Amino acid sequence: MNEKIAPLVDEIIRALGTTVNQAIIEEELRRLLEFKVPPEEAKRSLLKKYGVSEVKRLSDLHGGERDIEITARILDINLKVVGIKGQERTIFMGTMADETGAKSFTAWEDFGLETGDVVKVNNAYVRTWQGMPEINFGPRSKVDKLDRDALDSLATADIDKTMFLAELMDGAAAVHTIFRIIECQHKEINTRNGSKTIISGTAADNSAKIPFTSWESNPVLAKGVTVEVKNAYVKSWRGVPTINMGEFTTISKSDAVISDDDLALVLNPEPVRLDSIIGRDGVFDTIIEGSLISIRPGSGLITRCPQCSRVIQKNTCRVHGPVEGIYDMRIKSILDDGTGALTVVLDADLTQKVSGYSIDKAREVAAAAMNQSAVEDEMRHKLLGRSMQARGNMTKGEYGITLVADDASLTEMDTAAEAAALIKEMGGMGSVGQMFSGVGGSP
């Protein structure tokens, strides 16, 4: 055997077992390498051909992986009834975690999974949902329940190290943090064992404010209480990192109390620079301000499907076919503050607030021009180059970085003050007057 491929052949044989002919494996591997297939890719190809899934850890998943093997613990699971091709189907959604992190999953069949189960899933695949990788398994997948001690409770050596809320990223496991509960409510959800009460709300410390969900009831979780949680995990919901507490999370009242003064800047935020947030997975309830440098196509007067609210073209929904569309308005814009840029989306109410156009007025403009895109042109003429402040949740997904605004207003920017701040940041290169001394005349 060629010494160069011998180690790869040995790895493949060990994975496949002794029932596979070694000479055949060696010949197929040699042929792949001759066609310049990278060695590791050639090995994966042969393992896949002979029915062996590639073993992955959750932290390795990014979306698009197929035929993989995952061993993880089910942290939470609930059922959901969805419509697929005109038929109702029950699927099972939740979170699973290993020692490297936590990820959302969807089981398209009833595998009898329960919270706390440790499972080995073969022939799973990963798709991207709302910008985050999600594990999927169904009819082709094999799910084996292992001993619950096969994985520990996911606590790590760093469990005693507390983290600020602003540091939490999607997929983080074994999280230890202290926060104050700002809002709290109980909600009934459906599980395979019937109805269950969960607790959700908003958590805050002096670094950030983010949502939380507890899958277990705990009297400590009440509005105004400062709590300490250990062995929580983080997953994104609608693009925003959310603290999750489950069966293996320890929840207690904190000895250190977070006061109103500690939360003053978080609860009453000032506009932040984009370069301070665009590197994060998502940000809950933030304020940004900058110049509108683009009004994107699809702004202005639009029509939506009455069944799924998707934007439609020529009264045709890509899901429900021909429909009688419902008129709506929106603005999709690019906002730039000099340190970064992102997409800001305004709904009909906020579009009217910043543009002065109601849906009825927009329809009149479109009818007069005999072109619905005339409203978009009007928005572009009215708003391009203006300064705007927006408040909402920032998310990062397959369409880039987006802030869906809860509030927005046009502002007047103090150009001299902004220039002075920029010069100060650049190290005091000179005064505003020196910087602009040659503008509009001879130096």
pLDDT in tens, 201-235: 999 999 999 999 998 889 999 999 999 998 888 88
Stretches where the chain sits below pLDDT 70 are: 1-3, 14-20, 47-53, 85-86, 130-131, 150, 152-160, 192, 413-419, 421-422, 425-443
Quick one: CA dihedral 353, 358, 363, 368, positive or negative? negative
Amino acid identity of 152? Answer: D
Query: Distance of CA 372 to CAs 273, 294, 326, 375, Å?
Result: 35, 19, 14, 6
d(CA 65, CA 340): 32
Residue 29: the pLDDT is 80
Rounded distance between C-alpha atoms, residue 290 and residue 221, angstroms: 38
pLDDT score recorded for residue 439: 40
Q: What is the mean pLDDT of the chain?
A: 83
Tell me, what's the pLDDT at 82? 76
C-alpha distances (whole Å) from 336 to each of 18, 27, 281, 342, 432 are 61, 57, 19, 7, 22
pLDDT one-digit tens code per residue, 236-267? 877 788 999 987 788 999 999 999 999 998 88
pTM: 0.64
Task: Give the per-residue pLDDT at 167.
Answer: 87
Residue with tokens 């983290």: 163
CA dist., res. 328 & res. 285, Å (int) = 25
Q: What are phi and psi of 374, to 5 degrees?
A: -60, -30
pLDDT at 51: 59
165-259 CATH pick, 2.40.50.140, 3.30.70.2190, 3.10.20.600, 3.30.465.10: 2.40.50.140
Q: Look at the alpha carbons of 357, 361, 366, 372 in this order and tell me if their dihedral is positive or negative.
A: positive
Q: Which among 131, 197, 62, 72 has a CA at the least distance from the CA of 393?
A: 131
Q: Quick check: 1 and 10 in contact, CB under 8 A? A: no
Residue-range domain boundaries for the chain: 6-52, 58-150, 165-259, 274-417
CA terminus-to-terminus distance, the chain: 80
Question: Residue 437 has what pLDDT?
Answer: 43
3-state secondary structure (DSSP) of residue 363: helix
For the 274-417 domain, the top CATH level (class) is mainly beta
pLDDT, residue 100, reads 81
CA separation, residue 76 to residues 45, 116, 313, 381 (Å): 34, 8, 39, 50
CATH 2.40.50.140 is the classification of domain 58-150: yes
Asked if the domains 165-259 and 274-417 are classified in one and the same CATH topology, the answer is yes
Residues 6+ apart with CB under 8 A from 87: none
